[in-house]
Amino acid sequence: MKNATTAGIIIIGNEILSGKVCDINSHFLVCELRNLGVDVRRISVIPDEIDIIGTEAEEFSRNYDYVFTSGGVGPTHDDVTMAGIAKGFGVKLVQHPEIEKLLTLRFKNNVNSALLKMTELPEGAEIICEQNMRFPVVSFKNIFVFPGIPDYLQNKFSLIKERFRSSSFYLKKIYLNTYESEIAERLNVVVAEHSGVAFGSYPITGAKEYRVLITAESKSEGSLSKAVDDLLRRLPQDIIVKVE
C-alpha cells in the first residue's frame, strides 16, 4: 500500500525450524503492528547462524521502515542474534555498560561469563528501558531486538509499541453466499480501478450463511468507501449476506 509505514519480522531459532516450538510471535507482532497502522511486508524464519542472521537483518533494514527480530538473545551458545547483526553491518560487538550494571545489580556475585555475553551489543546499538522491563529492548538502526519467549516479547512490545504508530488502516468486510469463481471477474475489475485499496478474497468453509469473505483495506477512508461501493454495485444483490 503506497505511503504506508512498513515492517519486516525475522524469527530466529532452530527450534522453530525443527518443529520443537511453535512460532506465535510473528502472529502477535503482525496483529499488533496492523492495529498500529504498520504494514508488515515480510516474515522470515531463519536458523541460529551468524551469517544468515546478518544477511537477513541488513536486507530487511534496507527494505522496511522497521525490523523486529525474535529469539537468540540469551546467554547460551545458540544465542547469536547480536553477533549476527553486528556482522551483517560490519561493526564490532562492544560491551554495553548499562546492561552490565543491570545484570550486576540483579545477579550480584553470580555474574559469570555467560551472563556477560548478554552485555555485548553491535557497536552503535541503543537500549530502551521502560518500567516493568526486566531487560531492555535493544535497537540498532531501525532494528528492534526481542526475546523469543512469547510472554517476554509481548510484555516488552506492549511497553514501547506507541513509538511505531502510524495512520490507521480502514477495513471493510463483505460476506457473500457464492463461490469465488462466480465473482472473480467483477472483483478483478474493481481491484484494477482502485489502486489505493488492497482487496483480499477468502473461501470460507463451515459457515452456512456465506462461502466467501472479501476484505478491503486502505489508509484513505474515502478511497475505501468508493471502492467498496463500486464492488457492491457490480455484485448480484442476492449473494450479499452482510457488510461490516
CATH number of residue 81's parent domain: 3.40.980.10
Q: Whole-prediction pTM value? A: 0.93
State how many domains the chain has: 2
Residue (of 163, 170, 174, 237) closest to 198 by Cα position:
170
Both 32 and 116 in one domain: the answer is yes
Whether residue 149 sits in one domain with residue 75: yes
Alpha-carbon distance of 113 to 134, in angstroms, equals 19
Residue 160 and residue 49 share a domain: yes
Structure confidence by residue, pLDDT tens digits, 108-156? 888 888 888 889 999 999 999 998 888 899 999 999 999 999 999 999 9
In the numeric block, which cell numbers belong to residue 19? 518443529
Please give the pLDDT value at position 174. Answer: 98
Residue 146 is predicted with a pLDDT of 98
pLDDT at position 107, please?
81
Using alpha carbons, list the distances in angstroms from residue 221 to 120, 150, 171, 172, 197.
46, 34, 9, 10, 10
Q: Does one domain contain both 121 and 150?
A: yes
Closest CA relative to residue 209, chosen from 182, 233, 242, 181: 242
What is the span of the domain harbouring residue 204? Answer: 171-243
Rounded to a whole number of angstroms, the CA Rg of the chain reads: 22
**What CATH number does residue 231 fall under?**
3.30.70.2860
Boundary residue ending a domain (112, 135, 164): 164
19 close to 147: Cβ distance less than 8 angstroms: no
From CA 191, how far away is CA 137, in angstroms rounded? 40
Are residues 101 and 21 both part of a single domain? yes
**pLDDT tens sequence across 204-214:** 999 999 999 99
What 219-225 contacts at long range (C-beta under 8 Å, 24+ apart), as own/partner pairs, is 219/1, 219/3, 219/4, 219/37, 219/167, 219/168, 219/169, 219/170, 220/170, 220/196, 221/170, 223/194, 223/196, 223/197, 224/170, 224/171, 224/172, 224/197
**Mean pLDDT computed over every residue of the chain:** 95
Strands in 137-140's sheet, in edge-to-edge order, are 38-46, 5-12, 66-70, 143-146, 137-140, 126-128
On whether both 50 and 70 belong to a single domain, the answer is yes
Confidence bin at 3 (pLDDT 50/70/90): confident
The pLDDT of residue 110 is 81
- Say yes or no: 74 and 182 in one domain: no
Cα 169 versus chain centre, distance: 15
pLDDT at 2 over 80: no
Q: Would you state the pLDDT for residue 96?
A: 94
- Residues 30-74 pLDDT 10s: 999 999 999 999 999 999 999 999 999 999 999 999 999 999 998
d(CA 6, CA 61): 11
Contact call for residues 50 and 15 (beta carbons, < 8 A): no
Answer yes or no: are the C-beta atoms of 187 and 215 closer than 8 Å.
no
Q: Are residues 17 and 73 in the same domain?
A: yes
Q: Identify whether residues 179 and 114 lie together within a single domain.
A: no
Whether residues 65 and 184 fall in one domain: no
- Residue given cell 521502515 in the structure block: 65
> Of 138, 164, 190, which residue is a domain's last?
164
Q: Give mean pLDDT, residues 183-198.
A: 97
Examine the domain organization and report whether 108 and 178 are in the same domain: no
pLDDT, residue 50, reads: 98
> In the block, which residue shows the cell 503492528?
33
Residue after which a domain boundary falls, among 132, 164, 196 = 164
For residues 184 and 113, state if they share a domain: no
Beta carbons of 11 and 26 less than 8 angstroms apart: yes
DSSP reduced 3-state for 207: coil
